[in-house]
Amino acid sequence: MLTRRALLESTLKISTGFALASAARGFAESGPLLTFRPAKGAPVRVPANFTGLGYEMSSVAPPGLLSASNDRYVQLVSGLGAKGVLRVGGIVSDYTRYEPDGTIVAEPLNTVITRASLRQFGAFLRKIGWSAIWTLNFAQGSIDDAVKEARAVADVLGLHLLALEIGNEVENFDRGRKPFKPFRKAPYTYENYRAEYSKWHAAIVKAVPQARFAAPDTAGSIEWVERMAKDARGDVQLLTTHYYRNGQRRGTVEQLIYPDPRLKEILTRMRAASEQSGIPWRMCETNSFSGGGHPGISDTFLAALWTLDYMLLLAEYGCAGVNIETGVNQLGFISSYSPIQDNGKGINTAGVPYYGMLAFAAARAGCTEMLPMDVDTQGVNLTAYTLGAGGKPRALVVVNKDPSQDARLSIREMGMGNVSALRLLAPAPDSKTGITFGGASVSAEGRWQPAKEEHVRDGMLTVPRMSAAVLRSASPPSHV
């Protein structure tokens, strides 16, 4: 396999050359012809609130950020869908306390949430129409503290509170993070955790009878999720875990271009646990590389393609939703992988991965399910997904992450009628600027409108290497 540097240099040369020539050749025929056909199989439901963003707890504390008066942020989140879920937690939740009338603090190892913080966040949720998952400090807090906080959160957020989480990355509580001591004595087993969880849950439900819970919120242990699903006693309504392609220092270009060999096993096991228990599951904290991402990879166009592909793959496997991490991380700086960026002076803008989420939103519009489809990719590093409603295809998404091959598509057999295409493009895979979807970039005010919707003639379309396209039927059902 090529080294990361050689692959990137090769990919850049190819893509830059394509970008310069694309206008002249108008995406003319090149590469193998791939024929798409409907396949037999049951549709997979995609919930209306599938899309989500994830935040460290410190993002909720300060005035002005997740605020109804922050017009740019409101527009950026609203652009991803009329419904969605914000998950608030992360490692910072292990160092957070709720003080109703205290002084707001937003630091990695010392965050204070006040009632004013909650009111601001509640107003923000009502403005965008989304709901929230709220994480309680299971690591260092007490049951009494959790009950008081849960009561306040439920009171302020009301119907916009989707679920409470008791703890963050709980299977790691006996490991610690240098130079800090572990939160629990080793070995901290699932049985230890389950016993504690039950006590906290009982106390919270007594104070907040309508409360719903997301658990176990593991860093990556699917076994703990499976066991939680198996012995659920009505005390968990949403199964949750986390996923990152790799750690920051180990992240490479290849890892975002090519499939993760372990991911499909994770998704298969999560789907099985959900189906057997009847409890939906959510990937409630995730992004490219943990630790804030890998600068120069996680903040490039390649990451936008990866984000789009990843969200669609999760939906295909029956995931109830995904929370893409954004904003200030547990180390106190803005993550390079953030879909929504911050210049440190209160100005929020669309990060490059935002465009992958934006393309997902366009594909998801008017659709309620993923539909089975057959295509022989003929060796092209390409993925494709069909979305629809009532068993009928309404959108087709093609993500071509092949460094050297364009792909010609034939969708004549898909039965989608008149089809238009919105292209996700950039000057090169490592581009941090110049990214467009539907011929337009997100404005400084956080708004996006397509400037170029291409008519697909005779059911034929070319998707260039290192690009993506969202193909949509001309008239999606208005009742969805």
| Pick from 299-303, 346-350, 384-388: least confident | 346-350
Provide the 10 A C-beta neighbour count for residue 146. Answer: 22
Boundary-marking domain end, from 348, 364, 380? 364
**341-367: per-residue pLDDT in tens?**
998 788 999 999 999 999 999 999 999
Q: What is the pTM of this model?
A: 0.94
Query: For residue 74, which of 115, 117, 121, 135 has the smallest C-alpha distance?
Result: 121
Q: Evaluate if residue 50 carries a pLDDT over 90.
A: yes
Q: What is the pLDDT of residue 461?
A: 96
| Cα 460 from Cα 455, distance rounded (Å) | 10
For residue 187, give the DSSP letter.
P
Q: Is 59 exposed, middle or buried (0-12, 13-18, 19+ CB in 10 A)?
A: buried
Closest CA to 54 of 422, 435, 335: 335
Q: Indicate if 331 and 198 belong to the same structural domain.
A: yes
Rounded CA-CA distance 473/344 in Å is 41
SS3 124: helix
User: 100 lies in a domain?
Assistant: yes
- Same-domain pairing of 241 and 187: yes
Q: What is the pLDDT of residue 475?
A: 55
Rg of the Cα atoms in the chain: 22
Q: Note the pLDDT of residue 364.
A: 97
CA 142 to chain centre: 31
Identify whether residues 205 and 256 lie together within a single domain. yes
The alpha helices in 113-214, defined as continuous H runs, are: 115-128, 143-157, 190-207
- Is 210 found in the same domain as 177? yes
What pLDDT is attached to residue 333?
84
The number of distinct structural domains making up the chain is: 2
Inter-residue contact 107 to 94 (CB < 8 Å) = no
> Which of 313, 346, 364 is a domain's end point?
364
Mean per-residue pLDDT, 120-125? 98
Supply the pLDDT for residue 142.
Answer: 98
Phi then psi for residue 326, to 5 deg, are -150, 165
Which of 190-204, 331-345, 358-372 bottoms out in mean pLDDT, i.e. has the lowest? 331-345
Of the two residues 111 and 477, the one the predictor is more confident about is 111
Q: DSSP alpha helices (H): ranges in 222-330?
A: 222-230, 253-257, 263-277, 301-316
Q: What is the pLDDT of residue 345?
A: 80
Instruction: Give the angle subtended at the CA of 21 by the CAs of 16 and 23, to the nearest 5°.
Output: 120
- Calculate the average pLDDT of the chain: 92
| Domain extent at residue 301 | 47-364
- Taking residues 65-94, report their average pLDDT: 97
| pLDDT surpasses 70 at 10 | no
Q: Is residue 478 part of a domain?
A: no
Asked whether residue 319 falls in the same domain as residue 423, the answer is: no
* Torsion (CA) 111, 117, 122, 123 in degrees, nearest 10: -140
Per residue in 257-282, pLDDT (tens digit) is 999 999 999 999 999 999 999 999 99
Same domain, 149 and 289: yes
Q: Is residue 59 part of a domain?
A: yes
Nearest to 36 by CA among 414, 455, 462: 414
pLDDT of residue 478: 39
Distance CA 120, CA 68 (A): 7
Same domain (yes/no): 148, 53: yes
pLDDT score of 51: 98
Claim to verify: residue 130 and residue 26 sit in the same structural domain = no
What whole-number distance in Å separates Cα of residue 7 and Cα of residue 257?
Answer: 10
Mean pLDDT throughout 457-479?
84
Listed residues 299, 329, 364: the one ending a domain: 364
> HSE-up of 409 (CA within 13 Å, CB side)?
31
pLDDT band at 2 (very low <50, low <70, confident <90, very high): very low
pLDDT at 28: 53
Q: Which residue has the higher pLDDT, 153 or 3?
A: 153
* 24-33 tens-digit pLDDT: 334 555 678 9
Residue 90: how many other CB atoms lie within 10 Å: 25
Whether residue 299 is found in the same domain as residue 434: no
pLDDT band at 479 (very low <50, low <70, confident <90, very high): very low
In a domain, 417, yes or no: yes
Q: What is the CATH number of the domain that holds 55?
A: 3.20.20.80
> Model confidence at 5, in pLDDT bands (50, 70, 90)?
very low
Residues 127 and 34 both lie in one domain: no
CATH number at residue 435: 2.60.40.1180
pLDDT-based confidence at residue 327 (cuts at 50, 70, 90):
very high
Residue 281 lies in a domain: yes
Q: What is the pLDDT of residue 346?
A: 82
Whether residue 237 lies inside any domain: the answer is: yes
Structural domain contains residue 4: no
Q: What is the pLDDT of residues 163-188, one digit of tens each?
A: 999 999 999 999 977 667 899 999 99
- Pair 391, 269 in one domain: no
Give residue 344's pLDDT: 78
- What is the bridge-based pairing of β-strands 281-290 and 322-325? parallel
339 domain residue, yes or no: yes
* Whether residue 81 is found in the same domain as residue 101: yes
- Per the CB < 8 A criterion, the answer to whether 476 and 367 are in contact is yes
DSSP 182: P
Instruction: For residues 307-319, give the mean pLDDT.
Output: 98
**Which letter does DSSP use for residue 40 in this model?**
S
When mean pLDDT is compared across 4-13, 192-201, 236-245, 443-452, the lowest value belongs to 4-13
CA 202 distance to own-chain centroid = 31
Give dist(CA 348, CA 389) in Å, integer. Answer: 34
